[in-house]
Chains A and B, each alone.
Chain A
């Protein structure tokens, strides 16, 4: 580094070849310190958040222990709280949403990555990104006024009449319920599956496709049997990402799930999710134990999304790196 700096040079590594004082004078150390403080704040805030969740749920954790995860009770009168109905509702609605969103999402991403010319692909991706930007309350609004009536008038009769003997399609229709919430969630997570899958598919090196085609496969076969498997881990990563989003979704689910902390086999039954119950009930939890139970629920949700997000990231990185390694 050629610097016209007349101050005394002290021996040392190249980056520290100027004395601390001179750096200070030139403001670099201050700049470093200031930006360090901001960066450290981020870490502090995150630590504080986890700490707060952990310590504010201590009563509930000690009283219920692991029993919290398998108990179905939610009885404010008896002060008995169990998370099972909420975990169940969260998992079921997320599962339903993925069942709908994965085929649609992967299909769309294949189209965008393999078939569409770049300009169309980019334009459509742009619109899909806008879909991801629609806030949850608006999905909830549409859920209440479009999906709920549709569920009652169209979907329920279509599924219950022929398949009503199956436990998942049994029972009366309320309009609201776990299936409704699952459908709304599906719409919300499709953009995540599409945009990430599209990227990983695009990162699959050309020669994979070309090799398959050269061997006589059809376009579809080369895509489905060669490209997609190559990008399989990344696509799975996109699914985990979508799942993480679905699990934490609050407003849209609260507005259409039926707010019933019960476990039911039927998809038409009302249910409750972790995020929804916290949103509805947190401000009125009377008694320390109940409040802390909600915070413990929040902790559970946080851990779930944390693990999923981490896994997703690993999977996506692995795939994109694989792509660049193979093509070299």
Chain B
């Protein structure tokens, strides 16, 4: 009895001790950029042993919610906060929340078809039709028409989407709204929508896992998830009529136009961008940083990280299949960091 009590006390004391490793900064949000954030925070911690950025990949929806509630120090999202959400934050905290783009990524259509290891071509109509539940079989003419020479099975398409509030969903539905009026009127765009069909996976991770494990499945994930897990992903026909595969070049091209006219608050959509070889389902992803941070140490730490992220951090993007931010955007952001007070 006595021994267990002593043990209990020891654990309590040990648990309460500061491990002499300084400051913990908590963030939560998008799963879209999780691989690169995870890398960044790890590298940054190696450089600054006293700073730890604890990022939980829980989906953009949760990121927006938690940073608004104030339960985390920063958020992350690939679906920019809408005016209503911005107002909610302003009303609650008396100050604004700022968007800081970090990298460019792509949402790719990915699938699990036995015998098909290469890239299938998808027209916008095919993508909308599949997710509306109107195209149900893999060998439907809408898909087969763009993939002559590939033998598609006759099986049912198992659609996989996100079950949680997701910026990746926002990007995907934003694109579908632009290319399909039916989608726009029936489902519209948001981080969380009323899906006509499909299974729900939690996070990009969950969707990837489901696709990997379920034959004949079809879903959308951020590029690196497909690449890292060796599942094939398809090309998408862009506004200029070319079937483009997502890669650094095609994603950067999609952002080229937006970089010139970037709004002050950095909220912009680059889906279905013009450009001969632009990838149509690309997106910026943002960190959500409060404009007023009370804790001096945390504020300096976050501003320091943002500065590093815009400089050295960008060089880590490409190895993880994210495209670097356009120079114009970086310059603008460097100035915007001063807004965090």
Contacts and interface: CB of A to CB of B under 8 A. Distances in A.
A214 to B, nearest CB: 53
Contact of A286 (B58, B61, B216): B61
Given A73-B194, A259-B199, A281 B165 contact: yes
Interface of A: 73-78, 148-149, 152, 172, 174-176, 254, 258-260, 270, 272, 280-281, 283-287
A76 B60 CA distance: 14
B50 interface: no
Contacts of B236: none
A76 B65 contact: no
A284 B163 contact: no
B202 A284 contact: no
B198 A260 contact: yes
A78 B193 CA distance: 9
A283 B66 contact: yes
Contacts of A149: 213
A33 to B, nearest CB: 25
Given A77-B188, A283-B58, A259 B165 contact: no
A75 B188 CA distance: 11
B213 A284 contact: no
What are the 10 A-B residue pairs with the smallest beta carbon separation, nearest first?
A259-B200, A284-B62, A259-B163, A284-B61, A284-B165, A172-B156, A75-B194, A76-B192, A283-B62, A258-B199
B201 A283 contact: no
Nearest to A288: B88
Instruction: Give chain A's interface secondary structure class.
Output: loop
Contacts of A272: 200
B199 A270 contact: yes
B85 A286 contact: yes
A273 to B, nearest CB: 12
Given A77-B192, A174-B158, 11 more contacts: A73-B194, A76-B165, A76-B190, A172-B155, A172-B158, A259-B202, A270-B199, A280-B164, A280-B202, A284-B58, A284-B65
B-side interface size class: 20 to 34
B310 interface: no
B64 interface: yes
B210 interface: yes
Contacts of A281: 163-165, 192
B164 to A, nearest CB: 6
Contacts, number: 80
Nearest to B60: A284
6 contacts: A76-B165, A172-B158, A176-B199, A284-B62, A285-B65, A286-B65
Interface in B194-241: 194-195, 198-202, 210, 213-216
A73 to B, nearest CB: 7
A286 B164 contact: no
Contact of A77 (B59, B155, B194, B200): B194
A284 B59 contact: yes
A282 B23 CA distance: 28
Nearest to A75: B194
A287 B190 CA distance: 13
Nearest to B198: A260
A285 B62 CA distance: 7
Which of A74, A260, A270, A284 neighbours the largest number of chain B CB atoms within 10 Å of its CB? Answer: A284
A284 B30 CA distance: 11
A284 B75 CA distance: 12
Given A258-B200, A259-B200, A284-B164, A77 B190 contact: yes
Which of A148, A260, A286 neighbours the largest number of chain B CB atoms within 10 Å of its CB? Answer: A286
Contacts of B199: 174, 176, 258-260, 270
A76 B201 contact: no
A121 B199 CA distance: 44
A215 B202 CA distance: 61
A112 to B, nearest CB: 34
Interface in B44-78: 58-59, 61-66
Nearest to A74: B194
A175 B210 CA distance: 9
Contacts of A260: 163, 195, 198-200
A259 B66 CA distance: 22
Nearest to B209: A144
A62 to B, nearest CB: 20
Nearest to A78: B194
B165 A175 contact: no
A63 B324 CA distance: 46
Nearest to A291: B65
Contacts of A148: 213
A292 to B, nearest CB: 13
A146 to B, nearest CB: 12
Nearest to B136: A172
A175 B160 CA distance: 13
A258 B200 CA distance: 6
Contacts of B59: 284
Contact of A176 (B63, B85, B191, B210): B210
Nearest to A172: B156
Interface string B156-185: 101000011100000000000000000000
Which of B59, B65, B216 neighbours the largest number of chain A CB atoms within 10 Å of its CB? Answer: B65
Interface in B235-274: none
A259 B207 CA distance: 11
B199 to A, nearest CB: 5
Nearest to B157: A172
A286 B65 CA distance: 6
Contacts of B58: 283-284
Contacts of A174: 158, 199, 214
A254 B88 CA distance: 31
A286 B158 CA distance: 29
Nearest to A73: B194
Which of A75, A254, A283 neighbours the largest number of chain B CB atoms within 10 Å of its CB? Answer: A283
B126 to A, nearest CB: 19
